Amino acid sequence: MSEAHLLKQALRAVLSGQQRAAADPHRPAWHLAPPVGLMNDPNGFIHFNQRFVLCYQWNPLACAHGAKFWGQWSSQDLVNWRHEPLALAPSEPYESHGCYSGSAVDNQGVMTLLYTGNVKFDDGSRTAWQCLATRDEHGEFHKSGPVLALPEGYTGHVRDPKVWQHNGLWYMVLGAQNLELQGKVLLFSSPDLHQWISLGEIAGSHLNGLGDFGYMWECPDLFELDGRSVLVVCPQGLKADTWRWRNTFQSGYFCGSFDYANHRFDHGEFHELDLGFEFYAPQTCLSDDGRRLMIGWMGIPDGDEFYQPTRVNGWMHTMTCPRELILRGDRLFQHPARELQQLRGQESRFAGVARSLPTLAIDSAELELSIDGSCELNFADTLRLTVHPEGVTLLRNNLRSGEPENRDWRGEVSLLRILCDRSSIEIFINEGEAVMSSRYFPASTPTVSFDGIGQIGLSHWSLQQCVIE
């Protein structure tokens, strides 16, 4: 299908659907969401020419997974964003079933995308090409085509290139599945982003002391932070444990040491990045001031997503807020990006026994709570957060079955920072020691009420709407 035809269809979908989508009461005030259609993974997250650029997996034609495009936003401050020209449309034979996820780099002043061209065949098999595109001065991308074919020894599930430069060489990690259906992370190097050499597997099932650890590893991201190497990755196929790995697919990280000379990554255990109901496919970038920033998709690729009520209004999913990553020992701590404080209105403060606190509006709001003892926060009778001696429990009813479902974190709770945005909640525990991100869909304008005998010191800010041009 020609690019011109795809662009015309995308434009028609946006023009015919954006008014209905914008009027949805669940539409976020300051989180990023697609104008219409289904959005998932963040892609091409980069600080380039003094602006943050964030691309995203997008099906503008339907609230369904299909042949994905790449949308594109940019921002000076991580708060106010503008739409940029559509980055990629699946118009070529090597990407016939979607321009899948990838990353962006600054190649001598030229913003360059590396992404996966997904191709499915009539017999049910598939292949994957790693492809390259460059951006011109008008913000439009021009495709150079495939630069890496499917590596030998792997199924057609090889995707999501994350690329960086070190000592004059380019490096790429790829998520992969081998012929024994084991998830792996592959490493490649290149002098010019076009000719790539395989350097082998650096992580995955049955490597580095792991046993069976998932049948496919998606969205790898290897970076340095405070003198350590961190691999963020999404293993698919982990069996749920009592308090962890409860979502259909997981997002987490390994902390260790990467040896460029021997192409070896020695690491510790796997830690989940987010213990809420919706979080997947995060991607990081390095800001000009040296911060490692991360944005994730506030969704999970499984059947429950299609029971979200926004689907009837022609749009689905949001991104998380941008987060700053800090390493303490071998654990990542996450903080909402400091720029988000620009959204704050006047602060209101309260203190006392939890059940004595007033009900507060949280349509678009930030809460900060110092907690001593047990309490419960009731978000619009739709989502409940309980703080108890063992930790935190988040409870809601499943959209598909109507049955209660919960997510948990175990540890002592002293501080909560909660970001609320119409149909989403992001809970930062103990200065970012853990995070729980979830969508919820209140029947009316959301409020939060409090119960329990714990002592709470509470700050509340209303948050302004961000500008999306």
The alpha-helical segments, DSSP class H, found in 376-469 are none
> DSSP string covering 300-330, please?
-SSGGGGG-GGGGGTEE--BPPPEEEEEETT
The pair of structure tokens assigned to 419 is 């970001």
Residues 435 and 276 sit within 8 Å (Cβ to Cβ): yes
Do 75 and 59 meet the contact criterion of CB atoms below 8 Å apart? no
Within a 13 Å sphere around the CA of 221, how many CA atoms are in the beta-carbon half?
29
Residue 128 CA to its chain's centroid (Å)? 22
Count of alpha carbons within 13 Å of 301, Cβ hemisphere only?
Answer: 19
Residue 204: both structure tokens together = 């995955």
Q: Is 414 left (phi over 0), alpha (psi -120 to 50) or beta?
A: alpha
Q: How many Å apart are CA 90 and CA 18, to the nearest integer?
A: 22
Q: Please state, in angstroms and rounded to a whole number, the distance separating the CA atoms of residues 235 and 204.
A: 9
Distance (Å, whole) CA 351 – CA 422: 25
For residue 75, what is the enclosing H or E element?
A: strand 69-75
Active site residue 41: yes
Determine contact, residues 317/297, Cβ cutoff 8 Å: yes
Residue (of 293, 446, 469) closest to 377 by Cα position: 446
Q: From the candidates 24, 41, 77, 289, give the one annotated as an active-site residue.
A: 41
Token pair listed for 96 = 């016939």
**438: alpha, beta or left, given left = phi > 0 and alpha = psi -120 to 50?**
beta
Show the beta-strand stretches assigned E in 373-454: 375-379, 383-388, 391-397, 404-410, 415-421, 424-429, 434-439, 447-451
Rounded to an integer, what distance in angstroms lies between the CA atom of residue 288 and that of residue 271?
Answer: 28
Instruction: Report the catalytic residues.
Output: 41
